[in-house]
Structure 1
C-alpha cells in the first residue's frame, strides 16, 4: 500500500517569495513567446457543445473561489454538486462525477475515497488554471472514453520560450486574496526561467478558510427536523479547509518537437464536508506527468505517460467531535498510471484522420482501522486490492466536403477490467461475518467490452450563422465504489456515499456498463464582427440503458419494512441498473450595448440552462437535477478597469428523487458585483458575492450533515439542505515582475 515514488515536500511559499525577490528581474522585460511550432490547428471542426472559457473570465472568477470547479459555473449546461470548499463535482446535462471525463493537464485523475472527496479538479488550484475546454454532450471519441455526459479539460498555461538563443529571461508572480465570509485567505506564487529551448517553471498556492456563514434567516428547520445541536450565527459547520499545492515543470524544445515533465504535489491537512458524515483529515498526493508533442512531415504525434499516488484519510472533524462523539478513522491508498499515444495526419485537403491508443491502471485499498476500542479488534476492509484497468483504441475521420459542410465520425473500443480481494469486518460477529463470507465466496472479477460512436455534421450557409447536428453512443463502466462495498450493516453503508444525500449505499457485483445514446442539435448566430452580438442554442436528448440508479436495500441488515416504505428520513440503498432519459436546452448570448470614449464599452451577457431527468423503469425523477436557471450580466470596461453586475436566477427544485427521499428547494435570486483593474504588471480584483445576503438552499448542495452525530440520525435532522454562501466581500491582488 506504500507509494512507489515520492518527493520531498517542496519549500513553502514564504521561501519562494524570498527567492523571487533575488531573481535578476532586470531581464524580465525581454520578450518570451508561447511555443507555437508544435501547435497544430489542422482540425477544422469545433465539436458540438465545445466551450472554451475566455482568459479574462477565468481571471475574474479566481478571486472569488479556491475551488477550480467553480470556474466552470457560467458554462451553459454545467452545474456543480456541493462538496467541500475546494472539491465541487461538475455535472453536464444532469450527468456528474465519474460519468464525465475530467482531465487535468491531460491526466485522468480518479477520486480515491468512498465519498469522492479528492475529486480530479481539487488537484489544481484556480490560480494555476490557464484554460478550460468543456465538451458537453456530443464528445469526439478522441477526447471521450468511459464517460457519458462529456469531457472537461483543464490545463495550466503552456510553456514559454525566449525568441533568440542569447536571451535568458526570468519572470515572477506573487498573488494573495481575502474573502470576508469564512475569513478565507491565500497566497500563490510562480517563477519562470526560460531560454530559447528550455523552460523551467514553479507554481505554488495555499488557501485556508473557516466555516462560512449562510445568508440571513438561516434556520435549522425542514421536513423531518426533530431538533438537535446546531451552531449559532448562521454558521455552516464542517465547511472549513486548508490546502496547499505545488508544481515544478521543465519543457525542452527542438525545432518542432517538445518534451515536458511536471511534478506536482498536494498536501491538504483538512477539508470539511457539510453534506457527508465524514471530513477529510488529510490528503497527500504526488503526480508525475510526462508528455511529448511533435510535428512531422506526415502530421502530428502526441505521447503521454502519467502517474498519481494518493494517501487519503477521513474522520470526524471538530464540529462533529464537539458533541463528545467517538472518532472513526477511514483510510485510502491509491495508484493511477496512464499512457496515451495519438497521431493525426491530413490525408488530403479534405480529410484529416486521428487515431490513438490509451491505457490506464488504477489500484485502490480502502480500510477502516479499529475505532476507540468500540469497533475492532480487526481492521475493516471496505475494498481490498481493488483494481480497475482500462485499455482503449480510437479512430476519427474529419472531412471538409465543401465550404459549407463539415463532418466528424469516430469509433472507440474500450475494455474495462475490475476486481477486488476478499474482505473482513471489525470482528467475527455475524453483523460483519455473514456479509463478508457471502462477498468473498463470489467471483469478483468483471470485464466490460465497451463501444463508443460519434457522428457530427456542421452546416455553415454563411459566415454569420452555422448549424450542427450530432449523434453519439457513449459507455461508462461502474466504478469500484458502485461494485464492491459489501456490508449491509447501516453504519457501514452510510460511509459509502459520493452523492452527498445522507443515505447509505451497498455495492452490486452484477452491475452492467451504462450505455447512453444522445441526439443533439445546435444553432449559432452572430454578427460579422463577433464582438457586436452572438446567440447560441443547443437542444439535446439522452437515453441511458442500464443507468446506475438506486433502489431501497432489501437484503441483509439494511432491509426491513421501515427502510422499504419510508417517505422521509435517511434510507439504505443498493445500486441497480435501470433505464433513464434526460433532455434539455442551453441558451447563451452576448450583445454590445454601446461604447464611447468617456464611458467605455457596455456589454450584456446571458446564459440559460434547463435539464429534465427521469427514471424510465420506475417513473421516478433522477437525483440531483439542477432546476432551470439563468445568469444575466452587464459589463462595463474603460481602460484598465472592468466592472460587472450579475444576477443569478434559479427556479424551485420540485422534481426530486422519491427513492432517495430527496428534499425540494425553493427558488432564489443572487446579485453579485465585480471590478478588476489590470495592467501588464498588476491585477486587482474587488467584488461582493450575494450582495443582499440572501439565504438559499443549494439545489445540488445535498443533505446538511455538518455537525452532531455522524453515525446515527441523532443530531442530524433530515430535511435540511446545505445552505449557500451568504454575503462575501473579496479582494485579490497579483503582481508580475
Structure 2
C-alpha cells in the first residue's frame, strides 16, 4: 500500500485532527492545573491476576507487543498458556495448554458467536476486534459452570462494561491509529454519549495489511482487510437498573498462505438485548438476563484473491488446461439466551441460572463440475441449568463449587440422523489468602463432559468405526477430570505467580490425517481428517517472576509448558506448543517508557506425525528460535499517547510449531511450513476524550 493512502482514510484523518487539537488543549490544561499523566506501558506479558491467580484479566485498549492484535487470537497470545495455529497474517486459531476448538469457550459480552467454516477458516476469534472491548477475562481450566457447554481448557470473555456518565461528564471515548510495515493500517474509535439515565455507544474499527516478507525476504501471502461496527443503546433509570440494546455488523477478507482457498467474505450481523437489576432484596443481589442473535455468512474461494488452479479438460478431442475456480459459502445462525440470579446471605454467595443455545449451519459449493445450493445441514440445540456456590470458611479460606447439566440435541439433516446427550459438569475449589505475606493460593478439581462439536462431526472422513457414514454417532463424548492449582505472591519489589494443572481425558477426540476421498477441506494438502476417541493424560504449568530493581527499572520473566500423552498408544498428543519463555525489561518514567521483549522458544520433539486438530497436524519436529522486540512510548499530552515498536529486530527467518503448511498453489512443497513475519516496524497513536 502506498503511504499517501493513509492520509486519505477519513477515519484516520479525523483521529489525527482530534489528536492535534486535543494536544493543544491538553497542554493548556496541564499548564494551568499542573496535571501530570503517566506514559502508557506497552504490554508484553501477563500481569494482572485475580481470584488467587486462577483468573487472568487484561486491558485490550493498552498497546501490546508484538504488533497490536488483528483479532482475538492475536491478543490472547500475549497471555501465558495461549498459542495460535497460524494460517497467514490473521485469523489464526487459538490454543490453550495444547487444547483447541470448543475446549476453549470464547464469549463476547457473555454470548457465543460461532464460526461457520468446516475447517475453521473463520474461528470465533476471527470476528473479535480486541480494542473495542474494555476487558478480557480468562478462567483457567474447568473452574466455572456459568456458561453454556462449559469449556474444559479455559473460558475466555471479551466484555464491554456499563458506561458511567454524569452531568459533569456527558461523553467520553478513545481513538487510535496504528501504522506498520507492509501497509499495516489500523483505525479504532469508541465514543459514548448520554447522561445518568441513558447512553449511546459506538465502537468502530478498520484494519488492513499487505502480504508480509519473512526473514529471508520472501513474500508470504497474508494480506487482509476487515472492518467492525457495533452500536449500543442503554437505559439506566436508577442506580440498580440497566437495560441495553446492541447491534453490530462486520466483514473482511483474508489471503491465506496455508490454505488452498482464501476467505473472501467474513460477514457478521448481531443483535442483542440484556438487562440487569441489582439489590432486589437483602438476599437477592442481582438478576441478569440476555438474548443474543448472530448470523455469520462466510465465503471461501480460490479465485478472488489468487489465481485459480488449472484443471486438465478435454475439448473436441484435445486436452487443455483450464482455470478451475470454486467457492464455498457457509452460514451459521446462532441464538443464545441466559438468565442468572446472584444471592448473598451471611457467608454464602450463590449464582444460579438457565441458558439455551440454538444454531443452524448451512453450506453450498460451486465449481465447474458442481453447483450445490445453500442448504441447512445441521441443527444444534442445548438447554442448561447451573449453580455456583461460594462459602467463606473464615478470613483466610473460601470454598467455591459448582454443578451444571446440559441437554444437547444435534441433527444431521443430510444424514437424517440425530443424537441427544446429557452432559454433566462440576468443580470444587479451595481458595486462600494470607495478607501478612501478601500471598494467595487455590486448588480445584473440575469435571466436564463435551459433546463432539460441529467440526469433529461434520468435517471428518470417519470416526471410531472407520466407516465414512457413522462418524456422526460413533464418536463418544469427551470426559475431562482436571486438577488445577496455583498461587500469587508479592513481597516488596518481588512478585511471583504460578498455575499448574494435571488431567485425565477419557475419550479424547483425536484427529488423524490420511488420504481420504472426501478431500482436504482447505487444509493446503490432499489430507483429510478422521476422528476417533482415545484416552489421554495432560499436564503443564505457567509461571512468572518479576522484580522492580528501582522505581524506574522493572523486569519480569515468564514461562509456559504443556504436555500430553495418548495413553492408548503412549505417543505424545499432537499440536502442543513447545516450552516458551519471555523476558521483559522496562524503563519507566513519568512521560516516557522504553522496553524490550525477548522471546525464547524450545524445539518441539514430542510430536505425532499427521495427527492434530481440525486446522493443523504435526508434520515434523520444530526447531528452537528466539526473537527480540523493542518498544517505547511517550505521553504527548494529557490523554494523548504514542507507542512505537520493532518486532523481530534481527529479521530472523523462523516458523512456529503450530503453523500450517503452505499451499502448493503458492509454490510451497508438500508439508513445507511458511515462515513468520520478518522485521516489523509499527507506531500507534491513541487519545482519550
Q: What TM-score does the superposition give when structure 2 sets the normalisation length?
A: 0.84
1:659 Cα deviation (Å)? 4.0
Q: Name 1:628's counterpart in structure 2.
A: 579
Distance 1:46 1:367, change over 3 A: same
User: 2-side partners of 1:486 and 1:520: how far apart?
Assistant: 32
Hey, what's the Cα distance between the residues in 2 that align with 1:723 and 1:637? 34
RMSD over aligned CA atoms reads 3.1
Q: Which residue pairs with 1:704 in the alignment?
A: 662
Residue among 65, 72, 87 paired with 1:68? 72
1:677 aligned onto 2:641: no
Give 3-state SS (helix, strand or coil) of 1:594's partner. Answer: coil
Cα deviations across residues 342-394 of structure 1 (Å, max 9, x unaligned)? 1111121x11111110111110001212x13xx12x4177x733111111110
- Which residue in 1 is equivalent to 2:336? 338
Q: Does 1:316 align with 2:267?
A: no
User: Which of 589, 595, 606 pairs up with 1:638?
Assistant: 589
Instruction: Check the 8 A contact 2:15/2:176 in 1, yes or no.
Output: no
In the TM superposition, what is the alpha-carbon distance from 1:17 to its structure 2 partner?
A: 6.8
Is the 2:601–2:624 Cα contact (8 Å) retained in structure 1? yes
Aligned-residue offset at 1:284: 1.1
- 1:379: which partner in 2? 372
Matches within 5 A, 1:428-467: 440=415, 444-463=417-436, 464-467=438-441
- Matching of residues 480-499 of structure 1 within 5 Å: 480-485=454-459
1:616 aligns with 2:567: yes
Deviation of the 1:47 alpha carbon: 6.4
Equivalent in 356, 359, 362 of residue 359 of structure 2: 362
Q: Could you say if the C-alpha distance between residues 142 and 13 of structure 1 is closer, same or farther in structure 2, counting changes exceeding 3 Å?
A: farther
Richer in strand (by share): 2
Paired positions, count: 626
Q: Does 1:183 align with 2:183?
A: yes
Give the aligned partner of residue 10 of structure 2: 14
| 2:93 alignment partner in structure 1 | 89
In the alignment, the residues of structure 1 paired with residue 289 and residue 304 of structure 2 have an alpha-carbon distance, to the nearest angstrom, of 46
Q: Counterpart in 1 of 2:32?
A: none
8 Å contact kept, 1:407–1:457: yes
What are structure 2's unaligned runs of at least 5 residues? 1-7, 30-48, 311-322, 463-467, 612-617
- Secondary structure of the structure 2 residue equivalent to 1:98: helix
2:319 aligns with: none
Q: Who is 2:195 aligned against?
A: 195
* Residues in 1 aligned to 2:580 and 2:383: alpha-carbon distance in whole angstroms: 39
Which residue in the other structure is 1:250 paired with? 233
Output the CA distance in 2 between the equivalents of 1:112 and 1:448: 22
Pairing of 1:525-564 with structure 2 (within 5 A): 525-527=489-491, 532-551=493-512, 557=517
Secondary structure of the equivalent of 1:127?
Answer: helix
Supply the distance in 1 between the matched residues of 2:160 and 2:440 (Cα, whole angstroms). Answer: 31
Deviation at 1:256, TM superposition (A): 1.0
**Conserved in 1, the CA contact under 8 Å of 2:52 and 2:431?**
no
The offset of 1:557, in angstroms, is 4.2
CA distance in 1, matches of 2:469, 2:542: 33
Separation in structure 1 between the aligned mates of residue 53 and residue 476 of structure 2, nearest angstrom: 28
Q: Distance in 2 between matches of 1:557 and 1:18?
A: 54
Deviation at 1:507, TM superposition (A): 4.9
Instruction: Give yes or no for contact 1:169–1:194 (8 Å, CA) kept in 2.
Output: yes
Structure 1: gaps of 5 or more residues = 1-11, 30-43, 217-232, 423-439, 489-503, 564-568, 596-600, 709-714
CA deviations on 1:134-189 (whole Å, 9 max, x unpaired) are 11114211247332101111123542311x4xx56234544211111x22112222
Q: Alpha-carbon deviations, 1:412-458, whole Å to 9, x = none? A: 00111111212xxxxxxxxxxxxxxxxx4xx5201111000111002
Deviation at 1:131, TM superposition (A): 1.0
Q: Distance between the aligned counterparts of 1:723 and 1:157, measured in 2?
A: 38
How big is the shift at 1:308? 0.3
Counterpart of 1:509 in structure 2 is 473
Which residue of structure 1 lines up, in the alignment, with residue 275 of structure 2? 292
**Mapping for residues 197-212 of structure 1, pairs under 5 Å:** 197-212=197-212
- Mapping 1:256-295, distance limit 5 Å: 256-268=240-252, 270-295=253-278
Q: Given the alignment, which residue of 548, 557, 564 partners 1:606?
A: 557
In the TM superposition, what is the alpha-carbon distance from 1:45 to its structure 2 partner?
Answer: 8.2
Distance in 2, matches of 1:290 and 1:17, equals: 34
Aligned residues of 1:173 and 1:734 also touching (Cα < 8 A): yes
- Partners of 1:117 and 1:396 lie apart in 2 by 35
Preserved contact between residue 392 and residue 415 of structure 1 (Cα < 8 Å): yes
